[in-house]
Amino acid sequence: MKNQEIARIFNEIADLLEIKGENPFRIRAYRRAAQNIEGFPKDVAEAPTEELLTIPGIGQDLAGKIEEYIKTGRIKAYEELKEEVPEGLVVLLSVPSLGPKTARLLFDKLKVKDIDDLERLAREHRLVGLPGIKEKTEENILKGIEMLKRGKERQPLGRVLPVANDILEHLKEKSPVKQISLAGSLRRWKDTIKDIDILATSTKPKEVMKAFVHLPHVKEVLMQGPTKSSVVTEEGLQVDLRVVEDDSFGAALCYFTGSKAHNIRLREMALKAGLKINEYGIFREKDEKKLGGKDENDVYRILRLPYIPPELREDTGEIEAALEGRLPRLLEMKDIKGDLHIHSKWSDGSHTFDELVAAAKARGYRYIAITDHSKGLGIARGLSEEKLMDEKREIEAINKKLRGFTLIAGVEVDIRSDGTMDFSDEALKEVDFVVASIHSGFRQNREQLTKRLVAAIKNPYVSVIAHPTGRLIGERDAYDVDIDHILKVAKETGTAIEINAYPLRLDLNDIYAKRAKELGIPIAIGTDAHIISQFNYMVYGVSIARRGWLEKSDVLNTLDADMLLKIFKMKAKQV
Ligand code: DGT
Ligand code: CA
Ligand code: ZN
């Protein structure tokens, strides 16, 4: 897949144009194209021009650049831009929170050469006093550097999983594997991943290893052994492949799925029962007799435990719950009846209602909620109150024609910096569904941010708080809010909280989702799709829900549309 590579280059072009102070619309076009190429479900290298042109944000010019890259391995315009802008300056821009203007200033005035240099200067407080740089700016730059370093170690699930699945498919096709599975944090659906662990069985392990190190994904071979090899992919991801005996596959799968903390608990339980567990099987201590190991469930069965799904294996109470017979019946993809966070052409989405409805029906959904942006978000073509009413009327007209499917007329209203809503209550009252969220002023203090969210939660027309902590994995930390207080007020007011399934958000995260469930707060899962292929992100939202122990009954979008619409109106009636 060339998608991630090309997306990265387009993002870099946007950075370079930004440094040069070029037209913001052109810059945004590159960023939008990058995002959509990354979310494109097939390899752009295999797509003909007509198909490239269907990707939102890609016109003749950018399609030409993609084809140029695939044919020649380079993009001339990009190379020229790099010539114009000093490399040191480009490196500085990779620090999240450091904009082009400040980067230029640091580069010119302090001759900052690289990130380490910048870090040292910031620690020595040598940046303060330059025009526009305060102590807070310095702190943010240091935070950004830390995040950059962390981000290199762990990648978002949504970037890693497609690569891992592609490698799996290639191995199935091109090597003599019998059983094969992902293991490690990927199989547990953790939101960030250090490396890809794959486990397989085969009667010809050496051939499997040979095929593996020659996969088209591989950039570098770290180690090639008879049953274990490690490579680094084009995307910079490490992949470890192990081949084991069929007879040990289950035990090895359990061992290499982890987590380490979960495994330690299992081993302790085994020891107490006179048993031994390792990656080869489950054995009786006294005579080393093998009791199982072919199937993963052997491990749990012999320990007298029910099967524990990989998403729960973190030693955060799953062993106790298993012992007491109160493991949750986790939410499944098939329980999801619709998507509760979608943007259309009316704001910054790419599709008409007809297109969205057709795609949702094709997935077997019964409804979707259209939640376009409000006017405060100019860059996202937010709607005025009048436009919102027009949109609602059009949705009503479409609903009259639909059978067995409902288009829910909603809105994603911006929570302004002062805590007021970007639309009046009179306007919010008119739509069927209101999602409220913060898109600016992230750097306010804890008290201010908490107050803003609480004000939104207390609004009688707001049904859901979307992406409540504002994190962007690897780019921006969650903002500083009193999440416990927010959940408490949500509970009191009957307001639901979103799990935003957009791969860089995954917000609420698994830990907070679990806390929300314990408090009895309903959860809405929404993909925040701006193009149809992003409907596929639902699986990431469901994975967060599962890691948060959520069951079908905890999640709003497992309900029918009639029921949902009733629930959305309930809060306003009570106030
Ligand atoms: P990651 O890679 O940081 O995203 O997370 P994991 O869980 O994939 O960690 P990784 O790749 O270091 O190891 C994969 C699994 O192998 C891990 O979940 C449990 C098992 N494992 C690795 N090292 C040890 C160990 O020292 N002891 C035990 N019991 N298990 C281990
Ligand atoms: Ca791993
Ligand atoms: Zn949105």
What are the residue boundaries of the structural domains of the chain, listed by start?
Answer: 3-153, 155-244, 249-323, 333-574
Residue 353 near residue 323, CB atoms below 8 Å: no
Residues 6 or more apart in contact with residue 419 via CB below 8 angstroms:
448, 451, 452, 455, 456
Q: Which of 188, 175, 115 is nearest to 148 (CA)?
A: 115
Q: Which helix (H) or strand (E) holds 180?
A: strand 180-183
Ligand 1 near 195 CB (within 6 A): yes
- Residue to mutate (ligand 1; options 152, 154, 196, 197; most atoms within 8 A of CB): 197
Alpha carbon of 239 to ligand 1 centroid (Å): 13
CATH dotted code for 333-574: 3.20.20.140
To 10 degrees, the CA torsion angle through 168, 174, 175, 181?
10
Alpha carbon of 183 to ligand 1 centroid (Å): 9
Residue given tokens 């959904």 in the structure block: 365
Residue 235 confidence class, pLDDT cut points 50, 70, 90: confident
Alpha carbon of 198 to ligand 1 centroid (Å): 12
Ligand 1: nearest atom to the Cα of 190: 4
Q: Which ligand is nearest to the CA of 256?
A: 1
Selecting from 1.10.3720.10, 3.40.50.1860, 3.30.460.10, 3.20.20.140, what CATH number does the domain 155-244 have? 3.30.460.10
Q: Which of 473, 542, 538 is nearest to 513 (CA)?
A: 542
Which amino acid would we find at residue 499?
Answer: I
| Residue-level pLDDT at 574 | 77
Taking the C-alpha atoms of residue 366 and residue 469, their distance in angstroms, rounded to an integer, is 29
Ligand 1 near 185 CB (within 6 A): yes
**pLDDT of 513-537, one tens digit each?**
999 999 999 999 999 999 999 999 9
Alpha carbon of 455 to ligand 3 centroid (Å): 19
Q: What is the mean pLDDT of residues 204-218?
A: 96
Q: Which ligand is nearest to the CA of 537?
A: 3
Looking at domain 3-153, its CATH architecture is Orthogonal Bundle (1.10)
Pick the residue whose CA is nearest to atom 5 on ligand 1.
185
Ligand 1 near 260 CB (within 6 A): yes
Ligand 1: nearest atom to the Cα of 195: 2
Which amino acid would we find at residue 39?
Answer: G
Which residues hold their Cβ within 5 A of ligand 2, which is an ion? 184-185, 195, 197
Taking the C-alpha atoms of residue 285 and residue 254, their distance in angstroms, rounded to an integer, is 19
Residue 516 near residue 555, CB atoms below 8 Å: no
Taking the C-alpha atoms of residue 15 and residue 77, their distance in angstroms, rounded to an integer, is 14
Written as six digits, the tokens of 121 are: 């200067």
Residue 306 confidence class, pLDDT cut points 50, 70, 90: very high
Burial class of residue 54 in the structure, from the number of CB atoms within 10 Å of its CB (0-12 exposed, 13-18 middle, 19+ buried) = exposed
Mapped onto helix, strand or coil, the DSSP state of residue 391 is: helix
Q: Which helix (H) or strand (E) holds 317?
A: none
| Residue-level pLDDT at 575 | 62
Q: What is the mean pLDDT of residues 336-365?
A: 95
Strands 367-373 and 155-156: unpaired
Written as six digits, the tokens of 286 are: 């006294």
Alpha carbon of 38 to ligand 1 centroid (Å): 28
Q: What is the mean pLDDT of residues 218-238?
A: 94
Alpha carbon of 185 to ligand 1 centroid (Å): 8
Pick the residue whose CA is nearest to atom 23 on ligand 1.
260
Pick the residue whose CA is nearest to atom 8 on ligand 1.
184
Ligand 1 near 268 CB (within 6 A): no
**pLDDT of 460-498, one tens digit each?**
999 999 999 999 998 888 988 999 999 999 999 999 999
Alpha carbon of 371 to ligand 3 centroid (Å): 7
Q: What is the mean pLDDT of residues 92-98?
A: 82
Q: What is the mean pLDDT of residues 73-81?
A: 92
Ligand 1 near 184 CB (within 6 A): yes
Residue 302 confidence class, pLDDT cut points 50, 70, 90: very high
Pick the residue whose CA is nearest to atom 3 on ligand 1.
194
Q: What is the mean pLDDT of residues 235-261?
A: 97
Q: What is the mean pLDDT of residues 500-505?
A: 96
Q: Please check whether the domain covering 249-323 is classified as CATH 3.40.50.12240.
A: no
Ligand 1: nearest atom to the Cα of 240: 11
Q: What is the mean pLDDT of residues 78-100?
A: 85
Alpha carbon of 377 to ligand 3 centroid (Å): 11
Q: Which ligand is nearest to the CA of 277?
A: 1
Q: Which helix (H) or strand (E) holds 118?
A: helix 115-123
Q: Which of 156, 151, 165, 167 is nearest to 232 (CA)?
A: 167
Percent residues over pLDDT 90 in the chain? 72
| Residue-level pLDDT at 1 | 72
Residue 191 CA: distances (Å) to CA of 47, 201, 259, 302: 30, 27, 14, 31
Ligand 1: nearest atom to the Cα of 255: 20
Alpha carbon of 437 to ligand 3 centroid (Å): 8
Alpha carbon of 7 to ligand 3 centroid (Å): 21
Burial class of residue 58 in the structure, from the number of CB atoms within 10 Å of its CB (0-12 exposed, 13-18 middle, 19+ buried) = buried
| Residue-level pLDDT at 378 | 67
- Residue to mutate (ligand 1; options 160, 185, 296; most atoms within 8 A of CB): 185
- Residue to mutate (ligand 1; options 155, 157, 256, 271; most atoms within 8 A of CB): 256
Q: Which one has a higher pLDDT value, 107 or 267?
A: 267
Residue 239 near residue 198, CB atoms below 8 Å: yes
Residues 6 or more apart in contact with residue 485 via CB below 8 angstroms:
450, 454
Strands 192-193 and 433-437: unpaired
**pLDDT of 173-207, one tens digit each?**
999 999 999 999 999 999 999 999 999 999 999 99
Residues 6 or more apart in contact with residue 143 via CB below 8 angstroms:
97, 477
Averaged pLDDT of the chain: 93
Alpha carbon of 411 to ligand 3 centroid (Å): 9
Pick the residue whose CA is nearest to atom 27 on ligand 1.
260
What DSSP assignment string belongs to 270-305? HHHTTEEEETTEEEETTT--EEE-SSHHHHHHHTT-
Ligand 1 near 197 CB (within 6 A): yes
Alpha carbon of 82 to ligand 2 centroid (Å): 35
**pLDDT of 36-76, one tens digit each?**
888 787 888 888 998 888 887 888 999 999 999 999 999 99
Percent residues over pLDDT 70 in the chain? 99
Predicted TM-score (pTM) of the model is 0.87
Taking the C-alpha atoms of residue 526 and residue 443, their distance in angstroms, rounded to an integer, is 25
| Residue-level pLDDT at 40 | 80
Ligand 1: nearest atom to the Cα of 186: 8
Taking the C-alpha atoms of residue 71 and residue 206, their distance in angstroms, rounded to an integer, is 34
| Residue-level pLDDT at 379 | 65
Ligand 1 near 155 CB (within 6 A): no
Q: What is the mean pLDDT of residues 16-32?
A: 86
Burial 117-149 (b: 16+ CB within 10 A, else e): bbbebbeeeebeebeebeeebbebbbbbbebbe
Alpha carbon of 328 to ligand 1 centroid (Å): 24
Q: Which one has a higher pLDDT value, 43 or 254?
A: 254
Q: Which ligand is nearest to the CA of 258?
A: 1
Q: Which of 81-85, 366-370, 398-402, 431-435 has the lowest mean pLDDT?
A: 81-85
Residue 35 confidence class, pLDDT cut points 50, 70, 90: confident
